[in-house]
Amino acid sequence: MHYTYVLIRGKGEWYIGFTNDLKRRVSEHKKQYECSLVYYEAYSSEKLARDRERKLKNYGSAWRALRKRITA
Domains of the chain: 2-71 (3.40.1440.10)
- Cα 23-3-1 angle, rounded to 5 deg: 85
Q: Residue 3 pairs with which residues in a beta bridge?
A: 19, 42
Q: Residue-wise pLDDT tens for the chain (72 aa)? A: 999 999 999 888 999 999 999 999 999 999 999 999 999 999 999 999 999 999 999 988 999 999 999 987
* Backbone φ, ψ for residue 18 (5° rounding): -140, 145
Q: Which pTM was predicted?
A: 0.91
Cβ–Cβ < 8 Å for 27, 41: no
